[in-house]
Amino acid sequence: MAEKSFKYVIIGGGVAAGYAAREFAKQGVKPGELAIISKEAVAPYERPALSKAYLFPEGTARLPGFHVCVGSGGERLLPEWYPEKGISLILSTEIVKADLSSKTLTSAAGETYKYQIAIIATGSTVIRLSDFGVQGADAKNIFYLREIDDADKLVEAIKAKKNGKAVVVGGGYIGLELSAALRVNNIDSTMVYPEPWCMPRLFTADIAAFYEGYYENKGIKIIKGTVAVGFGTNENGEVRDVKLKDGRVLEADIVVVGVGGKPLTTLFKGQVEEEKGGIKTDTFFKTSVPDVYAVGDVATFPLKLYGEMRRVEHVDHARKSAEQAVKAIFASEQGKSVDEYDYLPFFYSRAFDLSWQFYGDNVGDTVLFGDSSPTSTTHKFGSYWIKDGKVVGAFLESGTPEENKAIAKVARVQPLAQNLDQLATEGLTFACKI
């Protein structure tokens, strides 16, 4: 097969690839210089939609509605935008070998691609129960959610199993968003997770108590402190029940699993320096290999605000790191410099009529403020994290755009807060006056 050559190649076709492409176009990339190689069959899209509006029975999101870069209020890059800009969008093509020393990529179909500069934007993949040898984990109607194909299969199952029963394995992002989406579709839903409360990597017990209470009021059952150890199937090979470690057996027509992800770095093992489970980069997302950059979920980068190396799995960082890398590439070619990447960690979620945002670092003592009762009419409440006498993190449920900006500013500025009782009393007022 003929070899194809490009000046720049982006390996991966997710959010980071789309935002990188937009930045390349802004920087004046010439026609024929840039290729995006993606194993997905569609142009880059805003992945968070898959666990939210894509699954709604009404006001449903569908492509081309959520191609990048609409998630951050930017222009929507339709599939035709790429050829219009002279960018080769190579879809349904999985790279199975990357030789960084010879700057050569090989696809599953045996095609070869040469590049001068590569951006690794391979993202993450889901952790599967079959990875742990869970019995029956390959049954039909057990779903994971990462790509649009996954979401399409889940939508079909929701239609086929109308008013059925679902078990959601996992109490993190996917667990909370998917159990809400299933409930909105009138599916009887049960969440199962081993931790003492939901979203333990971010939520305190107090924050989690609100969401667990709210979900239970919506009719979602929650089983904590145990895990799924097996699945029963019917004669068609479809999942019928979920066996729990504590001996309980739950009926299920649909199972959704959200037990975490892992960065897709296998192609580059032994070729690039790694740290904390990702590919080590500098503040410009350059790896240890010349002319190779890594962005988004796979990059372990210097988080300037906290003076440490971190890997961040979030769409906000995927967007911003991609833009930073492309700016750095063009700056180095022009003998110019760009500012260091100064990222403020940001996480958010939406489910039912709830919407929370978190900024900063969730370390140190915590202070809860506002009305965190699950039956609250406003459900406006939040939390601050205080370390060494400074507020380093802030969380807010049901904030206005102005209030969310205020908590972001608090996390960035890290104001002093000596009296925690006073901080709890002041609550949101503290953030709004910074």
The kind and range of the H/E element at 346 are strand 346-351
Residues contacting 371, CB < 8 A, separation 6+:
378, 379, 380, 381
- Give exposure, 276-288, as e/b (b: 16+ Cβ within 10 Å): eebbbbebbbbbe
CA distance 413 to 85: 40
Residue pair 396/356 in contact by the 8 Å Cβ criterion: yes
The kind and range of the H/E element at 26 are helix 15-26
pTM for this model (two decimals)? 0.97
CA distance 84 to 430: 49
Q: What distance lies between CA 27 and its chain's CA centroid?
A: 27
Strand partners, 402: none
Residue pair 199/176 in contact by the 8 Å Cβ criterion: yes
The residue type found at 111 is E
pLDDT tens digits, the chain, 434 residues: what are they?
A: 679 999 999 999 999 999 999 999 999 999 999 999 999 999 999 999 999 999 999 889 999 999 999 999 999 999 999 999 999 999 999 999 999 999 999 999 999 999 999 999 999 999 999 999 999 999 999 999 999 999 999 999 999 999 999 999 999 999 999 999 999 999 999 999 999 999 999 999 999 999 999 999 999 999 999 999 999 999 999 999 999 999 999 999 999 999 999 999 999 999 999 999 999 999 999 999 999 999 999 999 999 999 999 999 999 999 999 999 999 999 999 999 999 999 999 999 999 999 999 999 999 999 999 999 999 999 999 999 999 999 999 999 999 999 999 999 999 999 999 899 999 999 999 999 98
Q: State the pairing for strand pair 88-90/142-143.
A: unpaired
Q: What is the model's pLDDT at position 409?
A: 98
Residue pair 241/234 in contact by the 8 Å Cβ criterion: no
Residues in the chain: 434
Q: What is the model's pLDDT at position 140?
A: 97
CA distance 342 to 345: 10
Q: What is the model's pLDDT at position 418?
A: 84
The dihedral of CA 124, 126, 130, 133: what is its sign? positive
How far lies 146's CA from each of 43, 407, 416, in Å? Answer: 15, 30, 40
Q: What is the model's pLDDT at position 1?
A: 66
Residue pair 263/311 in contact by the 8 Å Cβ criterion: yes
Domains of the chain: 3-125+262-333 (3.50.50.60), 129-259 (3.50.50.60), 353-433 (3.30.390.30)
**Hey, is 206 helix, strand or coil?**
helix
Q: What is the model's pLDDT at position 277?
A: 97
Q: Which two tokens stand for residue 312?
A: 């961040």
CA distance 73 to 192: 35
- Give exposure, 305-318, as e/b (b: 16+ Cβ within 10 Å): beeeebbbbbbbbb
Q: Tell me which residue of 407, 405, 414, 401 sits closest to 383, measured CA to CA.
A: 407
Residues contacting 402, CB < 8 A, separation 6+:
432
